[in-house]
Amino acid sequence: MFSAPLKRLIRAAAPYWAGEAAVFRTYWIWPKRTRETDRRWLALQCSKEVWGSGLAPLDKGIFLGPAEELIRVFPRIDIDVDRHAVLGIAEGLWAEFLHYCAFADAHDALARPGEAKLNPHAVKGAWKEDLDLSALRFRHKRENPKLGDRAAKFTEGGYCTLFAEGMLLKNRKHPKHGKANRLIAAACAKVYEDEFGHMLKGIAGLDEEGLSDADWRTLEAMSVEQLKSRILMRNAQFGYPLAGKDLEQALAGRRQPLAFDYRKAGAALHA
């Protein structure tokens, strides 16, 4: 079901997914975690869910981009644009806006009286490391449109580690963060399955594309570079909980790799 080069790509990515997961695992129990730092990372997550971190043009993001695309293709549905392709665009818009709502609701539920509600425009271009990730993805897509786009999709969501780790907070008692843990777990549960699917879009059909060995190497190099950039982006989003040796290890791909769920991925790809 998965070719040897596809498995090699996944093997190359797995230690970096673990590096990203380490940011959250460290943060949840970090002594510097406060209501304010929770509100900050949730707001930054909302920025990603609307503006897309390089998955769509910066000025349009993953709400306005597909919304305009739907208007553009409407006259051509089932003439030269397949109805299912259009449904896919609509689903993407719906899913990402649902993610925005989930994290924005958690953010606003942690507000004190008088604190302003979040909105998409207030969180545009919110932090440097996320803009760096966007710029890297745009560069890869310019250098190699086909493989660059594949790499951006494959690295989307970072194997869902934020959502998987966040869901584990559901029953985690904490004297200060009990309410936040419940809100975060509920938001992450709404996002997890969608983002697993979005990552699979990066690898669906890859084996039928007849990629050369050099293509596979290029895809792997782009993916690893993006995954490293994701670790820096996440670490900044959460206020730099990973530091020193732990951060070095994560960026060098020396953490114990996460186990890729071949059964779940195979079932989804062949559904």
Task: Point out which residues bind Fe ion (CB under 5 A).
Answer: 49, 96, 99, 198
Q: How far is the CB of 223 from Fe ion (least distance, A)?
A: 16
Q: How far is the CB of 156 from Fe ion (least distance, A)?
A: 5
Q: Output 39 or 99, the one with its CB closest to Fe ion.
A: 99
Q: How far is the CB of 190 from Fe ion (least distance, A)?
A: 10
Q: Which residue type, as a one-letter code, is found at position 73?
A: V
Q: Give the span between the Cα atoms of 225 and 136, in whole angstroms.
A: 8
CB 152 within 8 A of CB 226: yes
Q: Give the span between the Cα atoms of 125 and 121, in whole angstroms.
A: 9
Q: How far is the CB of 111 from Fe ion (least distance, A)?
A: 22
Q: Output 96 or 130, the one with its CB closest to Fe ion.
A: 96
Q: Output 153 or 177, the one with its CB closest to Fe ion.
A: 153
Number of neighbouring beta carbons within 10 Å of residue 110: 18
Cα–chain center distance at 124 = 16
Q: Output 19 or 158, the one with its CB closest to Fe ion.
A: 158
Q: How far is the CB of 112 from Fe ion (least distance, A)?
A: 27
* Of 107, 94, 88, residue with least CA distance to 63: 94
Number of neighbouring beta carbons within 10 Å of residue 135: 13
Tokens encoding 43: 């707001």
Q: Give the span between the Cα atoms of 174 and 169, in whole angstroms.
A: 10
* Of 146, 268, 269, 266, residue with least CA distance to 216: 146
Q: How far is the CB of 99 from Fe ion (least distance, A)?
A: 4
Residues 6+ apart with CB under 8 A from 82: none
Q: Which residue type, as a one-letter code, is found at position 212?
A: S
Q: Output 129 or 215, the one with its CB closest to Fe ion.
A: 129
Q: Output 99 or 141, the one with its CB closest to Fe ion.
A: 99
